[in-house]
Amino acid sequence: MTPLSRKSSLDEIRARFDADVDRFSQLETGQQATLDAPLVLDRVAHTASTHLRSGDRLLDLGCGAGNFTLRVMQECGTMDCTLVDLSTPMLERARKRVADAGATAIHTLASDLRDLELPENSFDAILAGAVLHHLREDDDWSHVFRQLHRWLRPGGRLYVADLVEFDDPRVQAKMWQNYGDYLTTLGGEDYRDRVFAYIDQEDSPRSLPYQIRLLEQCGFSHWDILHRNSVFACYLGEK
């Protein structure tokens, strides 16, 4: 496991995503290395429809090419969207797709999540799809979760879908082996090894219990698990 101090820099992560815009623009197949990605999009969109209405304010962190926002708008109506990503080409693609889908307003920010400064009580929902696993030290995680709570309006919800670890290393090893078997069925052992290599170099996920504890510590009034399959999980936190 690569030590945190030797993980990929922001520029290195940005460069990889700059070169992969077309793949991440596919709702059904853009994240095939992520277990149950289309199902999770549906779960988040269907759950969001219980509280979001057309015209509400939506923040999409690590928006990529805009898949999460697009799927939520399909279910909930057009939104006032703030899109955030490290990659400018991803943001440009997301802006175009979200505009074509009829968003009431679009704001884009090319930024590291940790550096964002947004007004308090601004958003009805925050989407964080495959982005939190790029956080490094515990202080980064605590800071970001405090900000997520601060940016939400009362009654607003955070939706997270991400790579997670297990706290028990024996369970983690077994689940990681199972994930490797899944990747092998997609593209063979070489594909599995490439995915594992960039995860080891770029990512520093935390366990689901770790993240739920952060929700509670930062003042979220309610949380629930929407989906879990091996080393991927999706949950919500309500302010």
Mean pLDDT of all residues belonging to the chain: 91
Higher pLDDT among residues 18 and 13, named by residue: 13
Q: Which band of pLDDT confidence, cut at 50, 70 and 90, is reported for residue 29?
A: very low
- Check pLDDT > 80 for residue 229: yes
Compute CA 208 distance to the chain's CA centroid, rounded to the nearest angstrom: 14
Instruction: Give CA–CA dist 85/116, Å, rounded.
Output: 11
Higher pLDDT among residues 121 and 15, named by residue: 121
Residue by residue, what is the 3-state secondary structure of the chain?
Answer: CCCHHHCCCHHHHHHHHHCCCCHHHCCCCCCCCCCCHHHHHHHHHHHHCCCCCCCCEEEEECCCCCHHHHHHHHHHCCCEEEEEECCHHHHHHHHHHHHHCCCCEEEEEECCHHHCCCCCCCEEEEEEECCHHHCCCHHHHHHHHHHHHHHEEEEEEEEEEEECECCCHHHHHHHHHHHHHHHHHHHHHHHHHHHHHHHHHHCCCCEHHHHHHHHHHCCCCEEEEEEEECCEEEEEEEC
- Check pLDDT > 80 for residue 117: yes
Least confident of 29-33, 148-152, 197-201: 29-33
Least confident of 18-27, 41-50, 82-91, 204-213: 18-27
| Percent of the chain with pLDDT strictly greater than 70 | 87
Taking residues 185-192, report their average pLDDT.
Answer: 94
Domain boundaries, the chain: 4-238
**Tens digit of pLDDT for each residue in 61-89?**
999 999 999 999 999 999 999 999 999 99
Q: Note the pLDDT of residue 7.
A: 55
Contacting residues for 14 by C-beta, under 8 A, at least 6 apart:
86, 87
Taking residues 84-104, report their average pLDDT.
Answer: 94
Q: Which band of pLDDT confidence, cut at 50, 70 and 90, is reported for residue 22?
A: low
Q: Note the pLDDT of residue 31.
A: 72
What fold, for 4-238? Answer: Rossmann fold (3.40.50)
Q: Note the pLDDT of residue 3.
A: 67
